[in-house]
Amino acid sequence: MDDECGILIIKIAFSLFLGILFLQSGLDKVFNYKDNLEWLKGHFAQSPLAKIVPFMVLKITILEVLAGAFSLLGVYGSIVQNDIFLEIGLIISAGSLIALFFGQRMAKDYAGAGGLVPYFIVTILGMVFMMAA
């Protein structure tokens, strides 16, 4: 495998991974909004964020759907040698994960916050790779 082919495969892998991760999560919030909202109201009931849960759900849903869509568009962009979709997907993914991490910490769900760290590492590695490629 030559370098160009290897770089393309890595870009597509980042695009698919983040696209699947965030589109599934975001679309689950769209199609199961009521159930997600009720669960999150309970999750944040004892936190300073309790009163703004509906706003947070809307915000994170939009971020996740955008992160997933741009990341999946990154597959096409990588093939036609235009990295802007993947780059935008990586940026929105990082923002989404930071927002989720903040929420988990505020809810004192430290295990949940810790579970986000591997996804954040993958996202940052994707950014570093794109800077170096």
- The number of beta carbons lying within 10 Å of the beta carbon of residue 106 is 16
Domain of residue 83: give its range.
3-132
Give the global pTM. Answer: 0.95
From residue 83, give the alpha-carbon distance in Å to each of 5, 68, 75: 15, 15, 9
Kindly write down the DSSP assignment for every residue of 9-66, as one continuous string. HHHHHHHHHHHHHHHHHHHHHHHTHHHHHHHHHHHTTTSTTGGGHHHHHHHHHHHHHH
Question: Contact 99/40 with Cβ under 8 angstroms?
Answer: no
Total number of domains constituting the chain: 1
Tens-binned pLDDT, residue by residue, of the chain (133 aa): 799 999 999 999 999 999 999 999 999 999 999 999 999 999 999 999 999 999 999 999 999 999 999 999 999 999 999 999 999 999 999 999 999 999 999 999 999 999 999 999 999 999 999 999 8
Q: Where is 90: in which H helix or E strand?
A: helix 84-106
Determine the Cα angle at 81 with ends 77 and 85, to 5°.
30
- Burial group, residue 78, by CB count within 10 angstroms (0-12, 13-18, 19+): buried
